[in-house]
Amino acid sequence: MAASSNVQLNQWADQRVRPLCDKIDQLIYAITAYEADYAAQGIAALITSDGAGNNEGNQDGRIPITGTQVVNLKAALDQLNTAATVTLVTGVGATVKAIVDAMQVNGSPR
């Protein structure tokens, strides 16, 4: 493939596309790690036994969050991770993760 001589496109690719791909790849990795830790530490069972309506995470001065909010976040992250790593992008035939992995440049765990 020939190298582009269009300065604007080259800058766009290097300054916008690659950094965004790095961030997306890091987010996917962070979500996957969160899901694994959530399961390994039995967070769902702890929330159930503690009471889903109880406040959690209020030890550092920030507003408390409920166990239900934690469970809802996990459900949302599951869907986001599936969308990024399983669902094929319409008309492309690849996942977001596969597209990003081909273009990300640094900052991604390997």
Asked whether the predicted pLDDT for residue 27 surpasses 80, the reply is yes
Tell which residue, 25, 31, 12, has the closest CA to residue 106.
Answer: 25
Is 70 part of a structural domain of the chain?
yes
Looking at the structure of the chain, the number of domains it has is 1
Q: What is the pLDDT of residue 51?
A: 83
Give the pLDDT of residue 110: 47
Residues 74-93 have a mean pLDDT of 95
Q: pTM higher than 0.85, yes or no?
A: no
Do the domain assignments include residue 110?
A: no
**Residue 107 belongs to some domain of the structure:** no
Answer yes or no: is 1 within a domain. Answer: no
94 located within any domain: yes
pLDDT of 108 reads 53
**93: domain range?**
7-101
Three-state helix/strand/coil letters over the chain: CCCCCCHHHHHHHHHHHHHHHHHHHHHHHHHHHHHHHHHHCCHHHHHHHHCCCCEECCCCCCCCEEHHHHHHHHHHHHHHHHHHHCCCCCCCCCCHHHHHHCCCCCCCCC
pLDDT single digits (tens) 30-55: 999 999 999 999 999 999 988 888 88
Report the share of the chain in percent with pLDDT over 70. 95
